[in-house]
Each structure stands twice: as structure tokens, then as C-alpha cells.
Homo-oligomer: A and B are copies of this chain.
Amino acid sequence: MLSALDLARRIEAGTLTPRAVVEMCAQAIAAREAEIGAFTALDLEGARRIADSRAALPLRGLPVGIKDIFDTVDFPTAYGFSAYAGHRPNSDAAMVMAVRRAGGIILGKTVTTELASLQPAGTRNPRNPAHTPGGSSSGSAAAVAAGMVPLAFGSQTGGSVIRPAAYCGVAGYKPSYRLMPTVGIKTFSWSLDTVGLFGAGIEDVAFAAATTTGRDLRIDRQAPQAPSIALVRTHLWPDATPDMQAAVERAARIAEAAGARVTELTLPEIFEDAIRYHGIVQDHEAFRALAYEYDMHRDKLGPILSAQLDNAAAITTDRYDDARRNTRRARQVFAELMATTDVILTPSAPDAAPHGLSATGKPTFNRLWTLLGAPCVNVPGLIDPNGLPLGVQIVGRFARDKIALAAARHLEAALAQAAKR
């Protein structure tokens, strides 16, 4: 994989050119893209032409992949939906412009599941092409995992950043709700859709988030302090495989051995209900956000999304308003809870990447945190007996993203140390 921070430092030091980074990407793409299918569109020539002119800017002319639900003028933007093949928006999404303003190069658009739903696309997992890379940000996670690009943007409504990051063994960062604007992104659920980032490691996604938002989020300038970590199993723990359960418990022990204060936390009952609220809020909003597609292009929708919207039609506004009210309450309780710990440690997904491409896995261990708007980080470094990555998740307090990133970095380093022994 390509570390964005490492590349940026070498470019800053003058020992590497942005153009040379484009060639690294081009080589990986030539070697693996035919098998993996991470991109819907690429512009290597354009990147070669302009990369070096961006070397002095914060993102140093680094190539970036953009999930195809983000509007781009220079690339077709089909939102993963056949009815929109070849569509060209008339403006770039806000975060695409943020990448440009920071001196990043848009190398290409990455595969999204259909309209960022659970309806799978064809991308394969670079760790094992017989397995799904997860979704909905399938191409962004796979492109980073295959070293085809050092950074990629995605989005999460249920678990669409953390899950594919876990399945592909890369760092994934879903910021606090609205830390990054969703302007110019095809909406699935306006209360939940969150922009996120993929990179080789935690420092890389923190670096990219800092440069594209202008916020103090870099964590590479000093070694992170040992955090306090609450191990949270949630009532869904039995849905995690034994391998995943063991991975999370092992991560807790390794973190503790590296100096973290590790406690166990049982969530109050309100959070069990909250997972149901997620589905109500998401689907009620999707029925409205995707009204045109549902009413006018229903024959072109895949069966999973189509059935989801069929069911969504029956969710009353009363149930939706009730779910929204209870969500606000759950957020308050969560803020109080997070006064006692820096971060939570919990699974990123129920499992390693499932076999086959007919489904993208389940957002079981993501929906609650997305609903709460909390920052989430997938920490790579553990593997299952078959060599597939097992991602563990660090969850922080709303708007305390830097603390979550630093804690994730601490754990990542500890896992890397432990792997060496």
C-alpha cells in the first residue's frame, strides 16, 4: 500500500515528485485493476500532466480516488446506477473541490454499490479476490488496499466506510457527522450520510482529513498518548464470529499492554433501541431521497434496493419523528457516557470479508455509531486464520475526532508491534 503521509513527506523533502507517485499508482493499476475492478473511470494522463504543479500545496499533488456518488465535472458520475450511465454533473461535490483546493489530484472515480445501497457491484477484495471488499464504498477501499491510490473518499450511511476498510485491511475514518460536507453527493439518508476516508494507515487518513478540512486533525507530529478505552460488545456481540470476538478481545489486551487504560462498558438499553431507529430514519429518508429513482426507474433498480424501498414506503412520519426524537435523546446519553472514556473499542464488522460477490456484508456493528454521529476509525492489523483482515473499530465522542484518531493510531502501532513478536 502507499502511505499518503510518507509520500507527502518525501515530496516536501524534494526526494520524490508527485508525477512519480502517479506512476506508482499507474503500475499498481496496470497490475491489479483488471482483476479487482475498483474504478469506474480513470484519468492517468491528466494526473501526469498536473501533479507536479501541486507539489507545494498541503496534499502535495497526491492522487485521490473518489467514490462515484460524488459529483465530478471531469468524470462521468453514475452513482452506481445503470439509468445514470454517462451522467455528467455541472459542478464538483464540495469535498472534491476541497481535495483540489488542498492540492490533491482526482485520479479517478471508484465503484459504489447501486446508489450507495446494499445492492452489490462487481469489485473484488484485493486480499482475496474471491471475497467481497464490502460496500457501499467498495472501490475506494479496494483501490487503497491494492496500492492503486494512496487515498480515497467514500461515504457511510450504515457501515459503508468502516466495513469495507475492515474487509480490505486498510485504515477507514468516518468523521463526526457533517465534519465534511455532503454537498454534491447523491443522498441516501440526509440525517445519516457521512463522508469518509480510506488510507494505508491511521496517520494517512488523519493527514488527508486535516488538509481537506483545514482542521487540526494530524496525529503524526508526536507519538499518541495511551488512551482510555472502553471495550463495548453491545447486545449484538453474538452476531460476531468467534474469530472477530477473539480479535477484539486480543486488541484490548494488546492496547492495555501498550499502556492504555482498558475497561469494559455495557451500554444502557436505549442504545439497543437506537439500532432500530437507524433503520427507520434511513429507510424513511431513502424513500424520499430516492423518490425519482423509485418512481421513474424502478425496473432498473436491483432487487435488494428495490425491496428495501418497497418496505420503506410503509414507514409512517409518526414512526420517523419518534425515531428522530429518540435519537436526539440517545445522543445526549452517549455524550454523558463518553465523559468516562476517551474511546470505545468494538468490532468493525461481524466477520472477515464474506466469500462471494453477491452481498457486501452487514453493517451490524456500524449503524449505532453512524446514528449517533460519532467519529469511527477502522484499525487494521489483525488477520483471521485464512489470512483475511479482521478490523477492529475505535469510536469517539461527537466532534472529538482527533482524540479518536490518536487512540486508533495508538492501537494500530501496538498491533503492529505485537505482530512482530
Contacts and interface: CB of A to CB of B under 8 A. Distances in A.
B90 A84 contact: yes
Contact of A292 (B97, B190, B288): B97
Contacts of A184: 187, 292
Contacts of A183: 187, 190, 288-289
Contact of A90 (B87, B182, B213, B316): B87
B295 A97 contact: yes
A183 B92 CA distance: 16
A181 B285 contact: yes
A291 B187 contact: no
A214 B181 contact: no
B181 A213 contact: no
Given A90-B84, A178-B190, A288 B97 contact: yes
Interface string A89-102: 01110100110110
A293 interface: yes
A317 interface: yes
A91 B292 CA distance: 6
A188 to B, nearest CB: 10
Given A90-B87, A317-B215, A98 B178 contact: no
A291 B92 contact: yes
A182 B321 CA distance: 17
> Chain A contact residues (Cβ within 8 angstroms of B): what range?
20 to 34
A291 B212 CA distance: 13
A288 B94 contact: yes
Interface in A318-349: 321
B181 A288 contact: yes
A73 interface: yes
A97 B317 contact: no
A295 B91 contact: no
Contact of A291 (B94, B182, B291): B94
B317 A73 contact: no
B214 A317 contact: yes
Contacts of A191: 178
Contacts of A296: 91
Contacts of A317: 213-215
B97 A291 contact: yes
Given A91-B293, A94-B289, A178-B190, 18 more contacts: A73-B292, A84-B90, A87-B90, A91-B296, A92-B291, A92-B292, A94-B288, A97-B291, A97-B295, A98-B291, A101-B295, A178-B191, A181-B187, A181-B289, A183-B288, A214-B316, A215-B317, A321-B399
Nearest 9 Cβ contacts at the A-B interface: A97-B291, A91-B292, A183-B187, A183-B289, A92-B292, A94-B288, A214-B317, A87-B90, A215-B317
21 contacts: A84-B90, A91-B292, A91-B293, A91-B296, A92-B291, A92-B292, A94-B289, A97-B288, A97-B292, A98-B291, A178-B190, A181-B187, A181-B190, A181-B285, A182-B190, A183-B187, A183-B190, A183-B288, A183-B289, A213-B317, A321-B399
